[in-house]
Every structure is written in structure tokens, then in C-alpha cells.
Amino acid sequence: MPDRINTPTSVIAEVHGAQDKQEGTADGAIDIGTGVVTYKDADGNWRVRQASANEDTARVAREARDPPMSLGSVGESPLDDGYAADDHAFTVGGRSFDKFRVRLSTNASADPIDSLVGWDENGHASDDTINGTDPVDTFVARGIEVIERTDEDDLLLIEVL
């Protein structure tokens, strides 16, 4: 893989066409690089919530870049500066062949490369189980490359189906 793909400074690795951006208020704590769902509340305001296990969504929480709200002050990169409840959260939706860096689940197999992946109960990418027991059965992407990190969750480069 080219170095630009393996550099964990942005959720977005490669997009084809215009980015599908959506912003909203976080329902709870959300880690950057996890699966999320956006929706409108009863007042018509955009909200962002963590994806649940096996949720059919290719939307991912992304680092705040417009303007940057962090310069990687937590952890190894801006991907480590998550959102707290009621923070203004940024997301990006994936289309076929778009590539994102997402958090790799501890429930994933030892080698998720070239495997179909979905979301576990924490919104992390897994090709095996959602909680250590129940299988992933809703797939949203294909694992391409594991990006190992020493101080934070490993990342998985995925390609949206």
C-alpha cells in the first residue's frame, strides 16, 4: 500500500466523487473511525449515534477538519480525539469503492484482510463476531489492510461494498 493510505491521520483514505458529509450533535461518546448513523430528531435537528451491532450503515465518524478542532493532541493522530455527548460531530458516508480507516474490533479474526466486515456492538469493524459469540451477518465493506498502532486501537483500511 502507498504510504498515504497507511498514514492514520484521517478516516478518509480515498473517495470517488464528492464526499457524503453530514454533521450533527452526538448522542453519546463516539470514537473517530467507528460506524455511525445520522438522523433527524423530533425538532428536525441532525443527530449522530453509534452504529449498533450488524447495523447496515457505511457512515463513519470522522475527525473534525472544518475547521480542525484538534491537532492530534490525544493519542497518535486526530483519529484519537473522539466526540463527547452533545459535541458537534462530523461524519462521512461511504459509496462503493470508497476507502476509510476504521477502528478494528477486538472481536475480529487474526487476519481480516480480504474478508467481508460489518460493525460490532461498539461500532468497530469485525469480520468474525459482534461480541465474542454472535456472528457478524450484515456486511458493509471489505478489509484491505491492518494498520497497527502502539498506543491506540489498531485500524483497518476498508473498502465500502
DSSP calls for 43-85:
TS-EEEEEPPTT----EEEE--BTTBS-SS-STTSGGG--BPT
47 domain-assigned = yes
Binned at pLDDT 50, 70 and 90, residue 32 comes out as: very high
What percent of the chain lies above the pLDDT cut of 90? 71
* Whether pLDDT at 139 is above 90: yes
pTM of the model: 0.89
73 domain-assigned = yes
pLDDT tens digits, one per residue of 141-159:
999 999 998 888 899 999 9
- How high is the pLDDT of residue 153? 86
Cell 430528531 identifies what position?
A: 41
Mean pLDDT across 62-79: 64
Domain extent at residue 149? 7-160
2 domain-assigned = no
84 domain-assigned = yes
CATH number at residue 81: 2.40.300.10
Q: What are the CA-CA distances from residue 38 to residues 4, 25, 144 (Å)?
A: 28, 9, 26
1 domain-assigned = no
Mean pLDDT across 119-126: 97
User: Mean pLDDT, the chain, as a whole number?
Assistant: 89
The SS3 of residue 6 is helix
b/e sequence 58-85, b meaning 16+ C-beta within 10 Å: bbbbbbbeeeeebeeeebebbbbbbbee
53 domain-assigned = yes
- How high is the pLDDT of residue 10? 82
Q: Which three cell numbers, joined as nine digits, stand for 77?
A: 493522530
Could you give the number of structural domains in the chain? 1
Other CB atoms within 10 Å distance of the CB of residue 52: 15
pLDDT tens digits, one per residue of 72-121:
455 667 788 889 999 999 999 999 999 999 999 999 999 999 999 999 99
Q: Is the distance from CB of 90 to CB of 34 less than 8 angstroms?
A: no
- How high is the pLDDT of residue 64? 79
Binned at pLDDT 50, 70 and 90, residue 1 comes out as: very low
- How high is the pLDDT of residue 74? 59
* Whether pLDDT at 4 is above 90: no
